[in-house]
Amino acid sequence: MNYTVALRLKGPTNKKGEISIRLRYTYQQKQYWKSTGLSVQPDLWLEKAESISKSHPDAYRLNNQLKFQKNMLELGANSANDKADWELVQKWFTWWVEAETTAALDDVSQEAREDREAKERQETVEYQREVAERSAKIIDLNTDRKEEQEFRKLLDEYPNTFLTSGKLYRQQIASWKNYLLRFAEEKKFPLTFANMNMDFYKQYGDWVLHENNNYDNYFGTCIKRLKTFLIKCESDDIYVNPKFRKFKVLQEEKEIIYLTVGELELVWNYKPENPTMQKYIDLCVFENLTGLRVSDIMKSKFRVDNGVLKGINKKNVTTYFIPLAIDPRIELLLEKYDYNMAIAQEQHYNKYIKVILKEVFEKHGINQNTIHITRYKWKQPYYFEFKKHELITNHSARRGFISNMYNVHKYSVEDIKAMLGTKSNEIMKYLKLEESTIIEKAEAKAKERTVQ
């Protein structure tokens, strides 16, 4: 690295008795200074910690700003080919500030619609610890609470019945269980088999949809898993209120957003100003050309056998096989990264691919119109507007693979299922049937009738 970045007080005292806080960039014993736009009284500055004392009323916010600027200057220095060129380092500093700001704004705008599974995975460990500490309070030894104890006991044991399933699915079941328990604690609702009635359904739905800002698809998943649990309990001769069978599994018809073949080609040919962005482009192209889940890409031990890329699906423990003949770039990327495509964290990918796509789309003057998205809570519509780059994540790649393979490359659904290692028709939810595909098939049928 051969450079250092530090935060220091430098300059005269102003009328408020404050001294400017500046970034000091040192390379080969030569120092350069950059203003942060912030100042502080000398007695409130902690030089070793490079931060403002907590006794300052606005210390938390100001220290976050200082840490951000320092991190951006370090990224700028890492990106600069000539670290002795102070102007070049500052140019990259500006680039990173703009990229991070764009990504942060995208994160904020996306907050209301993001898949809750990622957030729940982060909360699971903390919540389990809280549950353990409060378990004595939750389980009352009163006779009136015995039904709650029985429900809780069976619910706690439930994730262990999926030991033969993939690790990710077990995590999802555990996450669902903790989410249900959180509802019970926050709403003081007694979870019992007798209470699985429409009053519970309504309270649970309002809590999931309105108090926790989710939508019908997510609530539907919660109810689907709850009903599966209750049916299992019934099969084990546990009495369950039969009203639970009337719980509706709500669903939404979500807009399928993905990169077309042409858009993917533009991304592939794009040369980012910052070379550190190239790995996100490579990962985007690899995901779209193979249709593999991010969990499989990050953990797979890829092997090529007779021109076919093979590996194990982590979710359902099946074998996928992707012919390299689909696109020569698959093998090219595998060789570039020595068959290890765990080149970027999912969180970073989802952030920076939006920045890259925004630049690509603006450069070519495409996808500048607003996309209107409708989500539902209790089947009531909520309307949102986005640009296409804001809607692309890791999940979009699987949709893109399936839709492009079907619409453009004319593979059948059965072909696609075989390649991805699944027998389930669940992949149909990723398929967007293009109007042109339907028209082509209709015209082909018409020609067949004419020939006959």
Give mean pLDDT in consecutive 10-residue pieces for the chain, a chain of 452 residues: 89 92 93 93 94 92 92 90 89 86 66 51 50 42 72 94 74 94 96 96 98 97 98 94 97 91 98 95 97 84 91 83 96 95 92 96 97 96 95 94 94 94 82 73 70 64
Predicted local distance difference test score (pLDDT) of residue 170:
85
Spatial CA neighbour of 63 closest among 43, 85, 40: 40
Could you tell me if 336 and 268 are in contact, meaning their C-beta atoms sit under 8 angstroms apart? Answer: no
Could you tell me if 382 and 373 are in contact, meaning their C-beta atoms sit under 8 angstroms apart? Answer: no
Give the domain extent around 225. Answer: 154-246
> What is the tally of structural domains in the chain?
3
Predicted local distance difference test score (pLDDT) of residue 431:
82
Strands 30-40 and 45-46: unpaired
pTM summary value = 0.68
Task: Verify that 301 and 367 share a domain, yes or no.
Answer: yes
Predicted local distance difference test score (pLDDT) of residue 165:
66
The angle that helices 346-364 and 86-110 make with each other, rounded to 10 degrees, is: 100
Residue 308 covered by a domain: yes
Element of type H or E holding 86: helix 86-110
Task: Verify that 179 and 204 share a domain, yes or no.
Answer: yes
Q: Looking up tokens 């309990």, which residue turns up?
A: 233
Q: What angle do CA 104, 252, 357 make, to 5 degrees?
A: 30
Spatial CA neighbour of 5 closest among 24, 22, 20: 24
- Domain end, chosen from 86, 111, 132, is at 86
- Domain end, chosen from 40, 59, 86, is at 86
Predicted local distance difference test score (pLDDT) of residue 132:
42
Task: Verify that 325 and 428 share a domain, yes or no.
Answer: yes
Task: Verify that 230 and 274 share a domain, yes or no.
Answer: no
Residue 166 covered by a domain: yes
Residue 130 covered by a domain: no
- Domain end, chosen from 246, 280, 315, is at 246
Question: Across the beta sheet with 319-323, what order do the strands follow?
Answer: 303-305, 308-312, 319-323
Predicted local distance difference test score (pLDDT) of residue 366:
97
Express each pLDDT in 130-141 by its tens digit.
544 444 343 344
3-state class percentages of the chain: helix first, strand second, coil last, to nearest 5: 60, 15, 30
Token pair in block for residue 27: 């390379």
Q: What angle do CA 97, 101, 105 make, to 5 degrees?
A: 175
Could you tell me if 10 and 34 are in contact, meaning their C-beta atoms sit under 8 angstroms apart? Answer: no
- Cα separation of the two ends of the chain: 74
Sign of the Cα torsion 4, 8, 10, 14 reads positive
Spatial CA neighbour of 392 closest among 350, 433, 361: 350
Task: Verify that 296 and 163 share a domain, yes or no.
Answer: no
Task: Verify that 193 and 285 share a domain, yes or no.
Answer: no
Task: Verify that 68 and 161 share a domain, yes or no.
Answer: no
**Distance, CA of 419 to CA of 292 (rounded, Å):** 10
Task: Verify that 433 and 370 share a domain, yes or no.
Answer: yes
Predicted local distance difference test score (pLDDT) of residue 146:
87
**Distance, CA of 300 to CA of 109 (rounded, Å):** 33
Task: Verify that 228 and 314 share a domain, yes or no.
Answer: no
Which 3-state string (H, E, C) describes 2-47? Answer: CEEEEEEECCCCCCCCCEEEEEEEEECCEEEEEEEEEEECHHHEEC
Task: Verify that 162 and 57 share a domain, yes or no.
Answer: no
Spatial CA neighbour of 274 closest among 430, 102, 433, 439: 102
Predicted local distance difference test score (pLDDT) of residue 115:
53
Residue 291 covered by a domain: yes
**Distance, CA of 88 to CA of 79 (rounded, Å):** 9
Task: Verify that 234 and 314 share a domain, yes or no.
Answer: no
Alpha-carbon distances of 361 from 108, 270, 355, 356, 399, rounded to whole Å: 21, 11, 10, 9, 20
Predicted local distance difference test score (pLDDT) of residue 47:
93
Residue 413 covered by a domain: yes
CATH number of the domain that residue 279 is part of = 1.10.443.10
Task: Verify that 177 and 41 share a domain, yes or no.
Answer: no
Express each pLDDT in 299-339 by its tens digit.
777 889 999 999 888 777 789 999 999 999 999 999 999 99
**Distance, CA of 351 to CA of 96 (rounded, Å):** 13
